[in-house]
A and B are shown apart, each in its own frame.
Chain A
Amino acid sequence: MKLKHLISIDDLKKDEIIYLLELAEEFLPVAEGKKIRKDLEGNLLANLFFEPSTRTRMSFEVAMKRLGGNVVNMTAQEASSIAKGETLADTIKVVSKYVDVIVLRHPLEGAARFAAEHSDVPVINAGDGAGQHPTQTLLDLYTIKKESKLDRLKIALVGDLKYSRTVHSLIKALALFKSEIFLVSPQSLNLPEEILEEIERKTKIEKAELEDIIDYVDVLYVTRIQKERFPDEEEYLKVAGSYKIDLNILKKAKSSTIIMHPLPRVDEIDISVDKTHYAKYFQQAFYGVPVRMAILYELLRR
């Protein structure tokens, strides 16, 4: 595998994704703290976050440190003062001289690909505006592989399918694995037509109602429906309520079905679900650690 940067899930071929997921499996005991490895000792990572994020930033930090590496952080607040008058290109040129790998989150789409052009060291995209967030997609795939199955997967994507970049990237990756995809969303938050057409050519994908497929799917992937997307509170509550996962709707689910969510959750999933065996969203967040270990290992080994 010849990976120089990780910018978009589209840059990865299916066998490269499989390879990274297998590598993540190897690092799982290290992520769990059961095994100690020092593969990345002497390496330094810079977290450059021009937008706030706790989970992604922390899990990169944890992944790096658990493999013996070290981390320097630039938070959104510092970024805004450093960036005053300085271009991203210049910031990257300077920081890439300090460290061995850069993790970047930036509000503008395409920022990570641009940064990679100016960096001497690997750049990992940790989210660029409404654009790409490939490490999230990889950890989603790892969770599916680990807690369900990637072969002949039947998956329902529930909630905001229009604006969710997580969903857009995941769908493209699922198409590589020929998953059967069901889209469960309010009319105003349907998957963009352009993406639908692209995926239709590759795999089975259709719109569905939750009640009709709940007893059929292996994975329920739930996303947050944002209040800002609705003209008024009443409309939001009505729509959000009809896509809520609770114990009642789960009565019809297969016992092997799992529920995933990129987090943070608001109230798309009732907290009573957390204690059931269906709930895998916290495990999913944890899997970000071994997956990011695999990515860092792959990018830093020379």
Chain B
Amino acid sequence: MERLAVSKIKCGTVIDHINAGKALLVLKILAIRPGCRDRVLIAMNVPSRKMGKKDIVKVENKYICDDELNKIALISPKATINLIENYEVSEKKRVKLPNVVEGIIVCPNKNCITNSREPIKSKFHVEKNGDNVKVVCHYCGKKIYELDKYIV
């Protein structure tokens, strides 16, 4: 067997089968930012039998809740989640596309109320668009087809 690109973790959450090149967006979605104290391992563009290339993110000592993890489906619908306990996989699951996403996406419409100084969180309705995902702003109705640019 090939050597693992990133080492095993003792316990925590492994997000596997992330679309190649999207690991940094996954960090954004999970709000892992500069200053964060969690131990996080990232592998990008590692070979994958199923996907050709994929990214992996491992967050140690943290079990991330489903609502957070499911947001990853926006950019990587095939991502899988492994919860690790004592170096063993204790639970395996797939991300599920949420119907509504609050926060994380910025509406590209500059004239949208969510981009004003009002006390407001962005909110998008998620729709499947073939293999891709389309989101629609709850407030102004703006549709986004290429999400990557608008995730913060």
Question: What residues of chain A have their CB less than 8 Å away from a CB belonging to chain B?
Answer: 8, 10, 87-89, 106-111, 113-114, 128-132, 194
Interface residues of B in 95-152 (CB under 8 A from A): 109, 111-114, 116-120, 137-143
Residues of chain A with a CB closer than 8 A to B113's CB: 88, 106, 108-111, 113-114, 128
| Range, interface on chain B | 10 to 19
Do residues A110 and B140 form an inter-chain contact, with CB atoms below 8 A?
Answer: yes
Do residues A87 and B118 form an inter-chain contact, with CB atoms below 8 A?
Answer: yes
Bound CA span A113–B143, Å:
17
Bound CA span A128–B141, Å:
12
Which of B117, B119, B139, B143 sits near A110, CB closer than 8 Å? B139
Indicate the member of B113, B120, B138, B143 with the most A CB atoms within 10 Å.
Answer: B113
Bound CA span A260–B119, Å:
40
Query: Besides A87-B118, A89-B119, A89-B120, 12 other CB < 8 A contacts?
Result: A10-B141, A108-B116, A110-B137, A110-B140, A113-B113, A113-B138, A113-B139, A114-B120, A128-B113, A129-B111, A131-B140, A194-B143
Measured CB to CB, the nearest residue on chain B to A106 is B113
Do residues B118 and A88 form an inter-chain contact, with CB atoms below 8 A?
Answer: yes
Interface Cβ pair total, 8 Å cutoff = 50
| 21 A-B pairs with C-beta separation under 8 A | A10-B141, A87-B117, A87-B118, A87-B119, A88-B113, A88-B118, A89-B119, A89-B120, A106-B113, A108-B111, A108-B113, A109-B111, A109-B112, A109-B113, A109-B139, A110-B113, A110-B137, A110-B138, A110-B140, A114-B120, A129-B140
Measured CB to CB, the nearest residue on chain B to A107 is B111
Bound CA span A128–B142, Å:
13
Measured CB to CB, the nearest residue on chain A to B143 is A194
Bound CA span A150–B139, Å:
30
Bound CA span A132–B111, Å:
13
Indicate the member of B117, B118, B137 with the most A CB atoms within 10 Å.
Answer: B118
Residues of chain A with a CB closer than 8 A to B116's CB: 88, 108
- Residue-wise interface mask of B (30-72) relative to A, using a CB-CB cutoff of 8 A (1 in contact, 0 not): 0000000000000000000000000000000000000000000
Do residues B119 and A131 form an inter-chain contact, with CB atoms below 8 A?
Answer: no
Measured CB to CB, the nearest residue on chain B to A87 is B118
Do residues A114 and B118 form an inter-chain contact, with CB atoms below 8 A?
Answer: yes
Which of A10, A87, A110, A194 sits near B112, CB closer than 8 Å? A110
Bound CA span A106–B111, Å:
11
Measured CB to CB, the nearest residue on chain B to A114 is B113
